[in-house]
Structure 1
């Protein structure tokens, strides 16, 4: 590659739009920072691999490139499937690279993923109802303890207490969905939080499941609140263990440059810290996946449908976002939490 070729490619890659340089076979040769953020992979990882391994536009990238043999080609309103994130809608521009015969430049104008609505009004009403129900439950539990203490009623008092405790735990989770108090966030070591969550899991519901840790040791402090983070990742890890009871389940962290979210006022909040919970379970039906974070949506026979809804709310309360992705090629389900870095204004 001569100096002119290198400078031309460097100029293209300075664009804030996700941009990729492909060779004649549709393999990635260069990618800018915006492209790395969209694909959730570094240029080094992508180099030499087909762009289709990371992004799909409804047809192979090589086929799109063939349409731009002599002149630029534009594909509007395409569904952009991401290997490591939720699908997005957007436009794709493909143009020949004049300095390298057969090579193409692909620019992807992906529209931001819409923010999910937070808690819905029926859940607000349910939380009020939950508060009212808890008072008589306490009386029922106390009466069952008295009967049990008197040695009467056989097994029935114990069964009553168990059911009251189960209902009370469910009501607590419903109330948590509508807690609007701001979190007192500060700098935290996310790895310390994840290790505590994993240690607790190994003593209980994940006693027989391997939990692998793949942490980026250079990760800076996250801006968060410990109790909220513990609850968030406990819900995600428990969900992963239930989906893949034979394991393994993986906890993974990484730093993602350029990843962020609109703040609703024309600005952008950087969310470079990624913590993911990955399992090898069978995944979810598409109809359920589309409403995964909606309260009371579940595929579990005895599930409440509140665990992931609460995890989604906690991620938002922390100023971050919770994402779900399914990698069918690897047979993995990924729940990815993107969080703010401590000390960063944006």
Structure 2
């Protein structure tokens, strides 16, 4: 389809609406006139499953008193050259673009065609088929009315700035609020939504569930530990059947190392009547390979636990998207 050249004029050209006789709809002679008419009426073209071209008009259009249906029936489809849904989609985008340029118009998602609104698309197509920006727009709910930015435009700005949901999750409140249109309320909405996703991943390994494999451990901790900027050492406390009693943080260190004292581990394990433990910590560098210090402290912890009859089932290091198991690596004997 040929590209439309749209020129928005403050006033209509003289003789733009030609009436054959009173009460008849005005005849729009050119493609430019028809496009201008559609913009004023916030009307969007669509193609049905049978190939029929039709228009949907939004509320609060400027030309409310004009005979909209009559004008459309006077050869509008032919003059606009609309034949396929691709033609319609192209013109819809042009109409939205021109509307967003008008000073008196503040673009909001409510002014979009229903089929292109994020919430309606989710209900119609399923959440899995929506882009990251559209999903984020649903979380944000509203855009920036002062700067005339819709929720989806705001979401796109967020994704352009941070790249993906993982970076959004690791960003601080101040970093999120550095994006125009994002305040503390919207930053909190984003953080809450991401936390729901992380807790969902943890539900299969919640308190009382049996830890059956290293994958259970990784799935439980990875969403929380992989992007931390400091090293954190945690312990999973298990009963005699390897069911999770509790998980505790033993230490939080600098960017390179955490300080772990065997007595702290033993104290927590005895307090919770744990029969076994699994050590877990992260490497902010993203490299899960254990350092000499990791191996040394693990050996000290294993020896201390053996003295009080607590089994050490594994030590798992999480680094970025990877992980390393001391048992799988032969560094702890089962």
The structure with the greater share of residues assigned to helix is 2
The structure with the greater share of residues assigned to strand is 1
Indicate the structure whose relative CO is greater, using CA pairs within 8 Å and at least 6 residues apart: 1
TM range, normalised to the smaller chain?
A: under 0.3
Q: TM-score, normalised by structure 2?
A: 0.19
Larger Rg over CA atoms: 2
Q: TM-score, normalised by structure 1?
A: 0.19
